[in-house]
Structure 1
């Protein structure tokens, strides 16, 4: 049975086939995920320990990304992190269907980046993606111009600001006015930043995959 809903706005059968395969192969790691241990314990793990396991957005989130990118005519997008390339496929399909452009991805695990590239090649979208391997706090410092849409879906940390908070502060100045940004994990310090009007965003929480924060950059001045 297909995991892509019949009403999906992404209608390219070549891309759909890759997404269907990736969703059908999804599995949870034994012993807990990136920030969870046996019995519900909190254990932050090394992302390199999950080189063969993808952590990705759900189909409804992907459909929303595709639809919104088409609506705003997105031609430059960025994501953290790429993992096996599920979200990248939605971004790249939308950018291609908007006439072309660039999808910038960041993935710290080389094996996952290689898998993502294979998936993008299979979908016919590899030429649209600039996939940068390494720590996003370095690879995303310079996005090469104003960005239309961003996805932040990061890895947990043991202490201090979350990676989501660190990355949003890094890329926010590189987003154009009117750009959209989606966050997958609702990290409290990320929400503190994105919901503070002084930072130039307006935001809403959506009931997707538990909680998905969707925001638009309106300005960088309080009271805009």
Structure 2
């Protein structure tokens, strides 16, 4: 197991709930990352092979999600991929503080679904999240109405379009005008989609983590 430095936010969190902050701090302190060679070969493209590892967003990304969702008055948001629930906690804290709503999460690895649900419960946010187990290309196909915000992350695939590209094509039509999409990994084909004017977005690249793309739906 590779040692991972605990990521630090560049400033104080906008979240004020000490219970939520305690769970986030615990999850950050327990981060683990497999050795780089574990990603080589076909096993490296199998998310089940990494069921014991939680791949989570950076605290600055989480604080940005919370702040933007509060500003939007977000009520319905999408969290792909949920992993062990870090991003879902930021989302759920925001929709709760906006008066209530729902985080629709999707996670392929069943063991991580259970951990995410426990972490949300520990943070007092379980009632605001629906974490769907399975392939996001199915679980996010019908979101039951317009959404305000989506995080598009996900596991690399061996060939063909990235999961980020496939999922954004499903989610974008269900995002309301004025809503945001945040992308964690800057997959080239995702960027091609989000930067193509005909798809109705404008976006910027933020200097967070390895480059975080924030897109606003304008039409």
TM-score category, normalised to shorter length: over 0.9
In the other structure, the counterpart of 1:20 is: 25
Contact preservation (8 Å) 1:3, 1:20: no
Query: By how many angstroms is 1:28 displaced?
Result: 1.0
Query: By how many angstroms is 1:162 displaced?
Result: 0.3
Distance 1:210 1:3 in 2: 15
In the other structure, the counterpart of 1:126 is: 126
Distance 1:215 1:3 in 2: 24
Deviations 1:76-102 (A, max 9, x none): 000110000000000000000000000
Contact preservation (8 Å) 2:70, 2:98: yes
In the other structure, the counterpart of 2:148 is: 148
Please give the secondary structure, in 2, of the residue aligned with 1:100: coil
Distance 2:178 2:49 in 1: 38
User: Is 1:193 the equivalent of 2:193?
Assistant: yes
Contact preservation (8 Å) 2:81, 2:107: yes
Distance 2:203 2:11 in 1: 29
Contact preservation (8 Å) 1:4, 1:20: no
Runs of 4+ with deviation above 2 angstroms: 1-6, 30-33, 41-45
Contact preservation (8 Å) 1:79, 1:152: yes
Distance 1:153 1:72 in 2: 21
Please give the secondary structure, in 1, of the residue aligned with 2:179: strand
Please give the secondary structure, in 1, of the residue aligned with 2:193: helix
Deviations 1:59-90 (A, max 9, x none): 00000000000011000000110000000000
In 2 relative to 1, CA 2–156 (structure 1 residues): closer, same or farther, beyond 3 Å?
Answer: closer
Contact preservation (8 Å) 2:7, 2:59: no
- Which blocks of at least 5 consecutive residues in structure 1 are unaligned? 220-224
In the other structure, the counterpart of 1:222 is: none
- Which blocks of at least 5 consecutive residues in structure 2 are unaligned? 1-5
Distance 1:43 1:203 in 2: 34
Distance 2:20 2:64 in 1: 16
TM-score in terms of structure 1 length: 0.91
Query: By how many angstroms is 1:27 displaced?
Result: 1.2
